[in-house]
Amino acid sequence: MLWSYAAGGESSQSTYDGAGMAAKDVIFVSYNYRTGPLGWLTLHELAEETGATGNYGLLDQIEALKWVYENIAAFGGDPESITVAGQSFGSGAAYHLVNSPRTKGMIKGAIAESGLKDPYDPDLWGYGSDYRNMTWAYAFSKTYAESLNATSVADLRSMNLETVLSGTGVSDFTGFDPVLNYHAIPNKYIVSLDEGAPNDVPILVGNNKDENGIDLSTTYTVAEYKSEINSTYGPYAAELLALHPAENTTQATAAYNSILRAGYCTSTWSWAKRWDQSSTEPVYYYLWTYSPPGSDGATHGSEVSYALNNLYAQTTSSYTDTDYEVANIMSSYWANFVKTQNPNKGGSYNNGTLPYWGPNVPAQQNTFELGSLWKKIAFATAKEIQLYLEYFKYATPSPY
């Protein structure tokens, strides 16, 4: 397993400790890649030097994969059985690797946790698999350079690292992103999705129950709830509100979260459906619902330590026997997938038989629940799914 960390992360974080995967007979490899201006700076002068600009972080990811492919046998690994994996921005890294012709033949499977969406979804921007167009990236990088009083690449190269990292858009990781330069990223997201990736491999993908705008500590009055839905969904708001009526704050808060959850689950399910149409390999789509101790729901990133079987490394949390069994089941699915590209096969579970997790079937509008039920469940009603797919195309008539 080649693991790519999320935005703001680094390979040494305890969240990405790989010993738990090693305990399940998986060789776990993590690495660092450039982020911020070092990873995504896009300038005409740099393009003149090398023929392309931007995506240096993605090129790091590609080189890391190449290194593993060429050298993992020396560590007892199989270069023909590499699964690329990651969460959030790291899931985007895994997906960009799958989509790159520069990695063709080096990938056996992919795991993308909380990062893949329908190409029409307006929330795709800022999510794991997003990118910028060249016009935007050039303009932002120019603004960044000007914020440091730099008029050339030579000026930037003469600065110390601390100064370079202090420029516009770095501290909150907004602005600097992968860019569609038709080099490291070969084509538009929707084109690659519909035509098929260079690496046609099984993919395990999913969402968490309480992410993508859901905050269980926030409450909404009925008026606030209606206002939020109306401002976000425009002509589709009335039907969504009718599907989720509310007469008090408790109902309004639950309804608001249900609408958001149905939306982002529909988006990832729609991505999986599109992938299935151009791929010969299965997709395994999940919804993580478990709330770790001391947390406010199944939040963004809360599944990682369970999936990687490293609760022991999270010293600030007090886990129960239930947590460790959830982690055992969850990580066994992940380890099995790495070994066999099937979460059900691989001998990773040591406490009986894993509940069967069948691949995604496009005609079935469901997901595999991870955390308590361990079975397929509906993530939204057919009417909600229809509304969201229509809303996505209304909000983004022409995917970038």
The residues carrying an active-site annotation are 88
- Tokens 């909600």, residue located: 384
C-alpha to C-alpha distances, 388 to 89, 121, 265, nearest whole angstrom? 24, 9, 10
CA proximity to 45, closest of 133, 169, 145, 186: 145
DSSP-assigned states of every residue in 175-244: S---B--SSSS-S-HHHHHHH--SS---EEEEEETB-TT--TT----HHHHHHHHHHHHGGGHHHHHHHS
Read off φ and ψ for residue 12, nearest 5 degrees.
-80, -5
Handedness of CA 301, 304, 307, 312 (dihedral sign): negative
Residue 126 buriedness (CB in 10 A; 0-12 / 13-18 / 19+): exposed
CA distance 219 to 343: 37
Q: Which two tokens stand for residue 290?
A: 């478990």
Instruction: Give φ, ψ of 357 to 5 degrees.
Output: -115, 100
Handedness of CA 306, 311, 92, 2 (dihedral sign): negative
Number of alpha carbons in the 13 Å side-chain half-sphere of residue 377 = 16
Residue 29 sits at the vertex; the CA angle it makes with 188 and 368, to the nearest 5 degrees, is: 65
The H-assigned helical ranges of the chain are 19-22, 36-40, 44-50, 56-71, 89-99, 134-147, 153-157, 161-164, 189-195, 222-233, 237-243, 249-278, 304-307, 321-340, 382-395
Q: Give CA–CA dist 252/7, Å, rounded.
A: 32
